[in-house]
Amino acid sequence: MIDVSIADGCATITAPDFSPLSTHDAAFARELAEAVIDLSDDDYVKVIVLRALGNDFAPGTPAATPHSLADTLTTWERDFSASNAIYQALCFSKKVTITEVAGSCAGAGSMLVLSTDLTVSSTDAAYGSPFMAIPESNFVLAALTIRLNRAKAWMLRDTVIPAAHAHEIGLVNEVVARDDLQATTQRLAESITRTPLDGIVMSKMLLQAVLDGHGVGREFDMADLYANALWNAGQVPS
């Protein structure tokens, strides 16, 4: 489902798109998390890039398929809210993580953007709110990234943020034409690889301390409560 390549200190994880995370595809989430964890422990790697090969980074919206509460607290928890699940693996990676986003970025796609360090966006990208049906969404990360009032509006109004506005509010770092997207990401990654590995790891440890101090980890820990609430409302992860 995914492919990993490494060159000159930069690891690139490619997939057709990342929409399987929005439908809580456990196998896809597990494969992606394991790749991120392995690359984070690789002393040759300094940068991890997430890239979709299709026209959209994470198209569509999550499908809510009712199932048992026991499944919500076991299979889903293991792959989407546990300490070694995909979003925590990205958020607390020891390496610099970059999302390269084109087209639609809905549901879990926006959660990937919040969990990574940097995002390069195409001008035609649009960022849907992850909060309505993705219980593992982390509101604290959104508040830290785009400011509390904007994060509240994104959550409560379920708005879609165009690329230009996403750049203006700090959700993404660069916005370029789709044709320039990969080259821009590559230049950004190359600039980071010139930093000594020890410097990258120490910087990420400092960042993680700040995230912990603001409660990002505790928000991930509360994901089960959100999942239970959605399950009780008949809108649970599939």
Residue 188: inside a domain: no
Residue 131: inside a domain: yes
Domain count of the fold of the chain = 1
> Model pTM?
0.91
Residue 126: inside a domain: yes
Domain carrying residue 81? 3-181+194-232
Residue 189: inside a domain: no
Residue 186: inside a domain: no
Q: With the CA atoms of 82, 84, 85 and 88 taken in that order, what torsion angle do they form, in degrees rounded to the nearest 10?
A: 90
Residue 90: inside a domain: yes
Residue 202: inside a domain: yes
Q: pLDDT tens track of the chain, all 238 residues?
A: 899 999 999 999 999 999 999 988 989 999 999 999 999 999 999 999 999 999 999 997 655 444 455 555 567 888 888 889 999 999 999 999 999 999 999 999 999 999 999 999 999 999 999 998 788 999 999 999 999 999 999 999 989 999 999 999 999 999 999 999 999 999 999 999 999 999 999 999 999 899 989 988 888 887 777 777 766 665 544 4
Residue 187: inside a domain: no
CATH of the domain at 88: 3.90.226.10
Calculate the alpha carbon distances from 216 to 83, 202, 207 in Å.
12, 19, 11
